[in-house]
Amino acid sequence: MKNLVKSHFRRRVLFSSLVIVLSALSGLSYLASQQYQKSILLTFSADVLYQLPSVINEIRSSKALPDVNQWDDLYPHNSQEFGAFLCDLDDKLKWTSVPRYQRYVEEGQFDMCAFLPNSIPKPELFEDHQGHAYIAYEVLPRGNRYHGKQLLIVKNARQEVADLHRMHYRFTLLFIAMIVIVVYALYLAFKWSFSPVNKLIKEIEDVQHERKSALSQDYPLELKEAVGAINRLLRQSKQQETRYKDSMADLAHSLKTRIAASNLVLTDSSSDPLQSSMIISEQLNEMDQVVQYQLKRATMGAKGLTHYQTPLSETVDGFERMFAKIYQDKAIVLHRLFESDVALPIAKDDLSELLGNILENNYRYAQSTIVMSVYQHSSGSTITIDNDGPKLADEQLSAIFNRGVRADQINPGTGIGLAVCREIVQSYNGDIWFEQTVGECGTNLKIFLPVQE
């Protein structure tokens, strides 16, 4: 379960949000059920009050119980805060069950009939600014057909109002506490949910400050692809940087060596001028080869995140037209043993450089035929190019790509074409090699280009 949630970024966010929403809903449901329970009790109380006169009337009519006047002993009036008030049409107090209110009117302190409104069909709380607070309900409305006086049941609600204010205060505190808790819970949830993003930012900072060379792999599914892409870019950038540095170092070394040699030849007064000029020319030629090779080496190769799919036929068409023209005396036929829609996982420029060098060699050495085939499989594409020219000697095969030879040691005259091809293919994690065929002529050149990550 832990891994199931952690491995997906969306699940993390969803899970933490769900926990917060469920907690808040549970709290609210509890409060709502409590409130509902209270409201049922309140409704019952109001109903009881409302039904009370008819119940008393029915009791009286039934004569089954003694006259209510005799109930005084049974239900003596002992509450100073609860009582009945009878007000006439002029808001004058006619009678009250709490005698001190009669006194208040006489002393001019407080008049309940003037304080309460003329009609109170439902129990209601009435307050004023002097601190008076009463819950009142009229049992008989003003202007009734018996005697026209309003009969009120009134309770002094000072205590309740104080309780209510205390409750408001408590609720406010509770609400603030809830907000603080929810905000903190949200903060924790988001911190946990977005911890992979924070980790990513931290790791990128580490890479920027060279504390790390690559990002780790432990990320939710949604970020895995982005992390993989960043790692690929970092790897390519590192390789490119290494290639630039190597190219520049090799270039500087080889050029300086040859310039030093040329200087010596030029200043040597004892040497034959014709021989000197030949040596200088040879040095210039070698410098040219080294510059060409290093320039190509520094700029070529897989770049960025593009998944290249370059159509092969299009590139071969151009070269076939060109070489057929240049080598028209030989009337060479290029046989293509591949479908016209074959595409290879390599950038167009690199494919062009690769095929240009290889086909040029094939046209140069072939007698009449070149055969080019492509085999595509799940791991990549293998291109085979063969011609009916003379076979390469076995000992040449391993040395021809100048494997492990530093650029400034490239054997002059052998050209840089195949060394460049090897660099291009290797930048795509592929391979290039020769294979001897059975028979007298032809040496297969094979190139493997893997499917890109």
Q: What does the binding site for other proteins look like in residue numbers (CB under 8 A)? A: 281, 284-285, 288, 292, 296, 318-319, 321-322, 325-326, 328-329, 349, 352-353, 355-356
Residue 418's closest CA among 336, 361, 348? 361
Element holding 193 (H helix, E strand): helix 158-193
Nearer to other proteins, 90 or 329 (CB): 329
112 CA to centre of own chain: 68
In the complex, the smallest distance separating the C-beta of residue 308 from other proteins, rounded to whole angstroms, is: 16
Nearer to other proteins, 318 or 450 (CB): 318
CA atoms within 13 A on the CB side of 234: 17
In the complex, the smallest distance separating the C-beta of residue 364 from other proteins, rounded to whole angstroms, is: 13
In the complex, the smallest distance separating the C-beta of residue 322 from other proteins, rounded to whole angstroms, is: 4
Nearer to other proteins, 188 or 326 (CB): 326
Long-range contacts of residues 358-363, Cβ cutoff 8 Å, at least 24 apart: 358/385, 358/417, 358/418, 358/421, 358/445, 358/447, 359/316, 359/319, 359/320, 359/323, 359/334, 359/385, 360/323, 360/417, 361/417, 361/418, 362/387, 362/389, 362/445, 363/323, 363/326, 363/327, 363/330, 363/332
Cite the DSSP H helix spans in 268-339. Answer: 273-299, 312-326
Nearer to other proteins, 2 or 325 (CB): 325
Nearer to other proteins, 113 or 416 (CB): 416
Nearer to other proteins, 137 or 319 (CB): 319
Residue 137's closest CA among 120, 149, 156, 150? 120
Nearer to other proteins, 329 or 440 (CB): 329
Residue 290's closest CA among 252, 261, 264? 252
In the complex, the smallest distance separating the C-beta of residue 222 from other proteins, rounded to whole angstroms, is: 40
Nearer to other proteins, 138 or 286 (CB): 286
In the complex, the smallest distance separating the C-beta of residue 356 from other proteins, rounded to whole angstroms, is: 3
In the complex, the smallest distance separating the C-beta of residue 321 from other proteins, rounded to whole angstroms, is: 6
Nearer to other proteins, 177 or 284 (CB): 284
In the complex, the smallest distance separating the C-beta of residue 196 from other proteins, rounded to whole angstroms, is: 44
In the complex, the smallest distance separating the C-beta of residue 447 from other proteins, rounded to whole angstroms, is: 16
What distance in Å separates the CA atoms of residue 170 and residue 215, rounded to the nearest whole number?
Answer: 51
- Cα→Cα distances 88→104, 135, 136, 141, Å: 17, 20, 16, 10
Secondary structure (H, E, C), 149-188: CEEEEEEECHHHHHHHHHHHHHHHHHHHHHHHHHHHHHHH
In the complex, the smallest distance separating the C-beta of residue 323 from other proteins, rounded to whole angstroms, is: 9
Strands 380-387 and 369-377, how do they pair?
antiparallel
Helices (H) and strands (E) in the chain, counts: 12, 12
